[in-house]
Amino acid sequence: MSKAINEGGLRLMAVHAHPDDESSKGAATMARYVREGVDVLVVTCTGGEAGTVLNPALDRPDVHERLVELRRAEMEQARRILGVRQVWLGFLDSGLPEGDPLPPLPEGCFARTPIADAARPLVRLMREFQPQVVVTYDENGGYPHPDHIMNHKITIEAFEAAGDRARYQEVGQDVGVAPWQPLKLYYHQTHHKERVLALHDAMRASGRESPYSDALEKWVDRSADSGRITTRVPCGDFFEIRDRALLAHATQVDPNGPWFRVPLEIQRAAWPTEDYQLARSLIEVGVLPENDLFNGIR
């Protein structure tokens, strides 16, 4: 990773657990900011090695055998579509354990790596890239995948340590990189009930079948989720780019699945934003909700 090429400009770092996460969480926001001249870096913590083939059309032995290679190629294609830069941290996918009792996570995987060791390369990237804004998952990981929760933990660690000369003192010294303190930290909050219900109602109002009926019937409201959204970024004009980036992850996405069943014009009318929780801020941001991750920085 070279030193920030957009010195003096706006820089956004999005930290994700696996290839494809960047295209399903905040992709339209990133596409919008790239087109506005913001330098956007996606950090991918693992290679998705423990993933499976989720597209029925590609569920073949030859695809399974080349899955790691294919996922890297898919990530590169999605990166180009979004217009972002991207870096691999190089940790091993922990997988999603299933069973009762749950089996242990594999030795050497991302989620079993000591926090300081896992955060160290991210601290380095923050000091090199110098983002003003960092985006990651909340303490639940968005959903309780071990890598998503670990992704949250190391981003918090790096955000708080990157600007501290007393911490990770050796990180960046070899290339003369100084400590750097990002100003704002956000959590993705796009997949929440208010949005899902708005899309569900809009589909039904148009006479179409909603892909969210089952999810809403099973939805469990949690008091901890109330009031999280502080920031709504208008990005409906970039939903098509978001979808193309997600479809680039062909082994992970069924193009005939529920993700793509709501027409873009309905999405833009019913919910044209991607939503976030401002988790940390070192600057005054004024009245909430915001409509810009760089509010107070521009």
Average of per-residue pLDDT across 13-33: 98
Average of per-residue pLDDT across 161-186: 90
pTM equals 0.95
Mean pLDDT is highest, among 99-108, 173-182, 197-206, for 197-206
148 is in an annotated binding site: yes
CATH fold, domain 11-281, is Rossmann fold (3.40.50)
Residue pair 155/118 in contact by the 8 Å Cβ criterion: no
249 is in an annotated binding site: no
pLDDT of residue 1: 53
Question: How many whole angstroms separate alpha carbon 119 and alpha carbon 182?
Answer: 15
Question: How many whole angstroms separate alpha carbon 286 and alpha carbon 204?
Answer: 37
Residue pair 81/146 in contact by the 8 Å Cβ criterion: no
Question: What rounded mean pLDDT belongs to the chain?
Answer: 94
Average of per-residue pLDDT across 100-126: 95
Structure tokens at 1: 């990773």
In angstroms, the Cα distances linking 142 to 17, 106, 151, 175 are: 11, 22, 11, 35
pLDDT of residue 2: 46
The SS3 call for residue 31 is: helix
pLDDT of residue 176: 76
Closest CA to 40 of 80, 75, 74: 80
pLDDT of residue 7: 59
18 is in an annotated binding site: yes
Q: How confident is the model at residue 174 (pLDDT cuts 50, 70, 90)?
A: confident
